[in-house]
Chain A
């Protein structure tokens, strides 16, 4: 099987400081990988390098495109990469405001991605937007409201709907449940699990919340100071951590 995403030797330096160094992994279709580590460990830098938001200093990010097979996204032209960002890729930001257009209605936010891939029939677009709002448990009668009128948890769910409406194959998520209260978090996690299972998505989730990765991720990558210190099956890494830093991380979680 061809990996959906094959990352080789990705490094990013901020001057003399290491953002992330020599990261490599293969992600297969349907797989969900979690990246954990304390803040400043390079998780988000890595995610942004993979998603094409930052240009890494070295390395390859090879994506198995629908039309041309595996291609290094770092060598693609900007329009090609943007096209990928609108179709096969999705990026869920930690703060929903970064991923939404706050001045446009909820339906418009979801519909915009459809228009970006060439859909023009307004009725169809609206119907799909309503369908997706329903899937993320937002009432149909809120379709014409702006996200500014939504709660934080609703905004986050709207962002997810906006991202998934074009049927991406790879979703990047940066702390998707950060900043939400626990009951909303549980609901969002349940929703994400269902979507991953039903749509066969692959995802890379950056978080510092170990409970989130235990529920969502198949496998885990633990980062410290820009380096990957441990990888493996999620429950194995959490229950039988091998590296000193992972042991510290796991044993530092407060029990509820």
Chain B
């Protein structure tokens, strides 16, 4: 489902003397449907960079990133957006929303963009919010004023609204209490059982043990390790 071949990444800082930072070289990774792979490595090792490259948010300097048959590094913006709508989901660490939009609509939005009718999308959103213990009176408020943990759960609900065949998770259980952590892990297991290929960053070791089939240390993708 997700296949990275010989991916490299450099950052060129034109306004800081044209410094060129080579941060990744020769990254290879294959994640078949139904498997969950955890990216590990110290802070700054490139876990998030690799996730962002898979999502098309960072431009790879070389190599190919094929998700569901589409090479993210070679595709037009509209093809990447189509991929993100239909195939590739991403739960980031932080919720980024348009101010003023109600929580339930934030969660339903990925479904609406797939052309699913408003009622059906809202039903699905409501059941996810319920499951993640977001009190119903909050559904018609904007999540911008919510607590960190609540925002995180809204973000997760949004990420799981559509059952994407491929999913990227950036610390999905951080800032959650034990009950909600359990629910989120349940959602991940459910997605796996449905055949979703998952790449995740989990600092929570117990969570990693439980849902991940494999660990990949991204330190191995640094240019120093390759040299």
Bound Cα distance from A172 to B24, whole angstroms: 40
With an 8 A cutoff between CB atoms, is A243 at the interface? yes
User: B14 touching A190 by the CB < 8 A rule?
Assistant: no
Interface contacts beyond A31-B78, A233-B77: sample of 6 additional A-B pairs, CB < 8 Å, sorted by A:
A187-B100, A190-B99, A219-B78, A234-B77, A236-B57, A242-B59
Does chain A have a CB within 8 A of B52? yes
Q: A232-B59, A233-B77 are in contact. Are A215 and B98 (CB under 8 A)?
A: yes
Residues of chain A within 8 A (CB-CB) of B13 are 247
Q: Contacts of A215 on B, CB cut-off 8 Å?
A: 98
Given A236-B56, A239-B58, A242-B59, CB of A186 within 8 Å of CB of B15: no
Taking Cβ atoms with an 8 Å cutoff, the residues of A that contact B are 28, 31, 183, 186-187, 189-190, 193, 197, 215, 218-219, 232-236, 239-240, 242-244, 247-248, 251
Residues of chain B within 8 A of A235, CB atoms compared: 57
How far apart sit A215 and B13, CA to CA, in the bound complex (Å)? 26
- Taking CB atoms, residues of chain A closer than 8 Å to B57 are 235-236, 239-240
Residues of A within 8 A of B52 (CB): 239-240
- B138 CB to closest chain A CB, in angstroms? 19
Q: Please indicate the chain A residues that have their CB under 8 angstroms from the CB of B216 in the complex.
A: none
**In the complex, which residues of chain B have a beta carbon less than 8 angstroms from the beta carbon of A236?**
56-59
Tell which of A187, A232, A242 touches B12, judged by Cβ atoms closer than 8 Å: A242
Q: Which residues of B contact A (CB under 8 A)?
A: 11-15, 52, 56-59, 77-78, 80-81, 98-101, 112-113
Q: Within the complex, what minimum Cβ distance (angstroms) separates A195 from chain B?
A: 13
Q: How far is A130 from B164 in the complex, measured between Cα atoms in Å?
A: 40
Residue of B11, B12, B77, B98 touching A193 (CB-CB under 8 A): B98
- Report chain A residues within 8 Å CB of B11: 240
Contact A190 B100 (CB under 8 A): yes
A215 and B12 CA atoms in complex are apart in Å by: 26
- The verdict on A240 contacting B58 (CB below 8 Å), with A31-B78, A190-B98, A193-B98 known, is yes
Task: Return A43 CB to nearest CB of chain B, in Å.
Answer: 19
Residues in B with CB closer than 8 Å to A233 are: 56, 77, 80-81
- Give the 3 A-B residue pairs with the shortest CB-CB distance, closest first: A244-B14, A219-B77, A186-B99
Task: Assess whether A186 is in contact with B98, with CB atoms less than 8 Å apart.
Answer: yes
Task: Note all chain A residues with C-beta closer than 8 A to B15.
Answer: 244, 247-248, 251
- Smallest CB separation, A9 vs chain B (Å): 20
**In chain B, what residue has the closest Cβ to A246?**
B14
Decide if A243 touches B100 in the complex (CB within 8 Å): no
Q: Bound complex: CA of A236 vs CA of B75, how far in Å?
A: 13
Closest to B96 in A: A214
User: How far apart sit A251 and B12, CA to CA, in the bound complex (Å)?
Assistant: 14
Q: Which of B56, B59, B77 contacts A218 (CB 8 A)?
A: B77
Is the Cβ of A189 less than 8 Å from the Cβ of B14? no
Give chain B residues whose Cβ lies under 8 Å from the Cβ of A218: 77-78, 81
On whether the beta carbons of A190 and B101 are closer than 8 Å, the reply is yes
A187 cross-chain contacts in B, Cβ below 8 A: 100
Closest B-chain residue to A242, C-beta based? B59
Given contacts A197-B113, A239-B52, contact A186 B100 (CB under 8 A): yes
| Alpha-carbon distance between A240 and B101 when the two chains are bound, in angstroms | 27
C-alpha spacing A70/B152, complex, angstroms: 47
Which residues of chain B are within 8 angstroms of A244 by Cβ–Cβ distance? 14-15
Instruction: Give the distance to chain B from A188, nearest Cβ to Cβ, in Å.
Output: 10
Q: Enumerate 29 A-B pairs (CB-CB under 8 Å) in ascending A order.
A: A31-B77, A183-B99, A186-B98, A186-B99, A186-B100, A187-B100, A190-B98, A190-B100, A197-B112, A197-B113, A218-B77, A218-B78, A218-B81, A219-B77, A219-B78, A232-B77, A233-B56, A233-B77, A236-B57, A239-B52, A239-B57, A240-B52, A240-B57, A242-B12, A244-B14, A244-B15, A247-B13, A247-B14, A248-B15
